[in-house]
Amino acid sequence: MERRKFLTEMGQATATVCSIGFLASCSKSDDNSTPGPGGGGGSTKLTANLDTELTSVGSSKISGNTIVVRTAAGNTPSSFSALSLICTHEQCTVAYDAADNDFKCPCHGSEYSISGAVTQGPAAAALTKYTVSINGNTLTVT
């Protein structure tokens, strides 16, 4: 095979593979939906039975890319913080550090408070906050 033909075919194959990857990264997924202004996205992201889950301050529950953390005693929405686990810097998954009561991004070192506010960059935007509602002993995050 001639060098020119080989390089042309390799270039076309590379372009095809890159196009497929680009299109896949642009697809929509319910797990990564972001809410409109003011939080909440309309669909349930997580539920918890408060009789058996999230019973102590600092306890947490994760579903997909959503976490809810109990921040205070009492079964009121203000006793919980519900956030996206996706770092706003480069979309890595952050981890909840119960000992420090914050979130840390393993990729570039960004840190977020329990309310989702940036406490250390390079991230410049807060984690997406979700709405917590409680009906009886069932907590729902939307």
Q: At 55, list the tokens.
A: 């019973």
pLDDT at residue number 142: 93
Alpha carbons 112 and 81: distance in angstroms, whole number? 12
Question: Residue 84: beta bridge partners?
Answer: 66
Hey, what are 121's tokens?
């960059």
- pTM of the full structure: 0.67
Cβ–Cβ < 8 Å for 73, 57: yes
Half-sphere exposure of 99 (CA within 13 A, CB side): 1
Tell me which of 26 and 133 has the higher pLDDT: 133
* Tens-place pLDDT, residues 3-16: 666 556 655 655 44
The answer regarding whether domain 39-141 maps to CATH 3.40.980.20 reads: no
Contacts of 90 (CB under 8 A, 6+ apart): 107, 108
Contact 87, 123 (CB under 8 A): yes
Instruction: Tell me the per-residue pLDDT of 28-53, one tens digit each, with 9 for 90 and over.
Output: 333 333 333 344 445 889 999 999 99
Q: Would you kindly state where each structural domain of the chain is located, as residue ranges?
A: 39-141
